[in-house]
Amino acid sequence: MAGRQRRYTDDVPDDATDRLRAMCLALPETHEQRAWVGTRWMVRKRTFAHVLGIEFDGDASVAVVSFRSEGEELEVLRRSGHPYLDLGWGRDAMGIVLEDADWSEVAELVTESFCIMAPKMLVALVDRPLDETP
């Protein structure tokens, strides 16, 4: 999907928005807001997840959730290809096409995105898998 012409839309299935809403609003001190297109979830004034439709070269719109990533995970996601895509805005913004996504992976990515964007005192309140590095 890299290099293809993109057009952003509000074309997102209600069930996808509802699932994301439940995930995002379960995190501490988050709120939902209508975005320039689609819906976004924020912690304080920082967006950590954003669902929107993207048309590539005039094809049918696909629902995508954007999230933040960093470090090795960001580099792996950039090289992974479909269903992941580099959105091209912000140094750490990635997206995942929802129709082909594993929702447990989406929940993990959204939670990690929250932890990147949130203050440390809020991150401490989030249940995350233990770091398995020695």
* Residue 1 in domain: no
Model confidence at 2, pLDDT cuts 50, 70, 90, reads low
* Residue 134 in domain: no
pLDDT tens profile 49-103: 999 999 988 788 899 999 999 999 999 999 999 999 998 888 899 999 999 789 9
CATH number, domain of 32, equals 3.90.1150
* Residue 59 in domain: yes
What is the 3-class SS of the chain, one letter each residue? Answer: CCCCCEEEECCCCHHHHHHHHHHHHCCCCEEEEECCCCEEEEECCEEEEEEEEEEECCCCCEEEEEEECCHHHHHHHHHHCCCEEECCCCCCEEEEEHHHCCHHHHHHHHHHHHHHHCCHHHHCCCCCCCCCCC
Of 58 and 44, the one with more pLDDT? 44
pLDDT tens profile 107-126: 999 999 999 999 999 999 99
Q: How many domains does the chain have?
A: 1
* Residue 133 in domain: no
* Residue 129 in domain: no
Average pLDDT over residues 34-51: 96
- Token digits of residue 73: 């995970």
* Residue 19 in domain: yes
- Structural domain span for residue 49: 6-123
* Residue 130 in domain: no
